[in-house]
Structure 1
Amino acid sequence: MSHTHEATEDDLNPTQTEGYKVGQSRTVAELAALDQEDESLQRWKQSLGIGAATGGGVKKVILKTLFLSSPTLTQPISIDLTQPAAELSKLKKEPVTIKEGVEYSVGITFVIENEIISGLKYLQVVKRSGLKVDKTEAMLGSYGPQPEPYTKIFASEESPSGMLARSGSYNVRSRVIDDDNHVWLDFEWGFKLAKEW
């Protein structure tokens, strides 16, 4: 493959914080069993979704949607991440339209099943004509299992504007990874800039 592809792989590796070590991984059941005699600690654990009835099974992150919202948009633009890989791959050839020169935010919804996931991160590299024009690395956080989806919205940005920005489309590669370097999502999609949504 070309250097461009290799650079993308490097770009999609999360930055490492010097001196940071991933803590010992414990199951929900192990955490629920700790400090059984401390009533207030047990209530706090329950509020986090850590209880004797939870846990068990393999860690699982189910990515639901990647969405874009803006004060100038009547309804968020949403990508269904639960669709088959073949359907997701079409998004690269069918770019999303983003209005030029507006403030927007990207967000993601996901469900955590069975065990705690720590250090979940969202990485995104935007390229145009093979050249990297933007990189986003956002910490999603650590989460316990629960049936309701979590939603995380990233810092707002302003879309580029002008005739040059509107010519051509942008390729995006998005990845969700955790502290154990398990990749939960890795897909490519595209967008183009226009005068209107």
Structure 2
Amino acid sequence: MSLAVGAVSSSKNMGFDESKDSEEKSHVSESSKNLPPPSPTPTEEALREGEKYNRQMSETSLYATEEEEDDEERKIELGPQCTLKEQLEKDKDDESLRRWKEQLLGSVDLNSVGETLEPDVKILSLSILSPDRPELLLRIPEAGNPKGLWFTLKEGSRYSLKFSFKVSNNIVSGLKYTNTVWKTGVKVDSTKEMLGTFSPQAEPYTHEMPEETTPSGIFARGSYSAKTKFVDDDNQSYLSINYTFDIKKDWPSTS
């Protein structure tokens, strides 16, 4: 009670009266007419639609098709290309650069590289290594894809892929290996490995992939389809093959 009385007496001492108070209220009321109407409150239906849209966008962003990944790779823009002879002749008076290029390129026969801009990479062989059996050499068709079943793996076995390739004409930049595997139309595995940048040389290069273990069990056995590619930074493809393979309870007979 004492607080209420104190508040009333204070207002009179400050000079507030009812007429002035009503005049200010009228002024505020007139000013509010010129303000834009308040935004309508979103309905529950609109909120639900917004949540549904955001959820769809989030789910879509989690997935990328192989074509979209390829498009991203194509967006890489590199500088102007030079022939290997031009590269070696650049800054030839700079001793440190000359030594660095010799260390990078090794002994390159300029007569063999000529004036070609594009590198040439030829995949010479693919083979499967496993401690359980002799090396399995896979024949690469000259043109097209392997016909029929290409190879069979034993379930639960350790194996690795080894391949050799030869580089000529020019330096190949950012050579990489990709492999995608499907079972009954569902993608079950995808591998990408950057191999590096290679200069032309007479001897072939050899690379061995990290060791893996094949899945095991009744659901792992069966037929698979796969696609293997070798591409560079320019998305130039040097090998692209589609093939099928099996996973079975044991290795096939070598006889």
TM over 0.5: yes
Of the three residues 122, 142, 146, the one matched with 1:89 is 146
* Alignment partner, residue 32 of structure 1: 88
What stretches of structure 2 of length at least 5 have no aligned partner? 1-63
| Cα distance in structure 2, aligned partners of 1:33 and 1:51 | 13
Of the three residues 236, 242, 255, the one matched with 1:182 is 236
Instruction: Report the aligned-residue RMSD.
Output: 2.6
| Cα distance in structure 1, aligned partners of 2:84 and 2:127 | 30
Give SS of 1:180's match: coil
* Alignment partner, residue 3 of structure 1: none
| Cα distance in structure 2, aligned partners of 1:78 and 1:43 | 39
Of the three residues 154, 157, 160, the one matched with 2:215 is 160
| Cα distance in structure 1, aligned partners of 2:124 and 2:167 | 11
- Counterpart residue identity of residue 138, structure 2: I
* Alignment partner, residue 123 of structure 2: 63
Task: Count matched residues.
Answer: 183
Of the three residues 205, 224, 241, the one matched with 1:170 is 224
What's the TM-score once normalised by structure 1's chain length? 0.80
2:154 maps to 1:80: no
| Cα distance in structure 1, aligned partners of 2:189 and 2:203 | 32
| Cα distance in structure 2, aligned partners of 1:153 and 1:192 | 22
- Counterpart residue identity of residue 215, structure 2: P
Bigger radius of gyration: 2
1:80-132 Cα shifts (integer Å, max 9, x gaps)? 33x3225x330xx2231111111211122111111001011111100000000
What's the TM-score once normalised by structure 2's chain length? 0.63
* Alignment partner, residue 102 of structure 1: 157
Higher helix share: 2
Q: How far is 1:51 from its partner?
A: 4.4
What stretches of structure 1 of length at least 5 have no aligned partner? 1-5
Residue identity over aligned pairs, in percent, reads 37
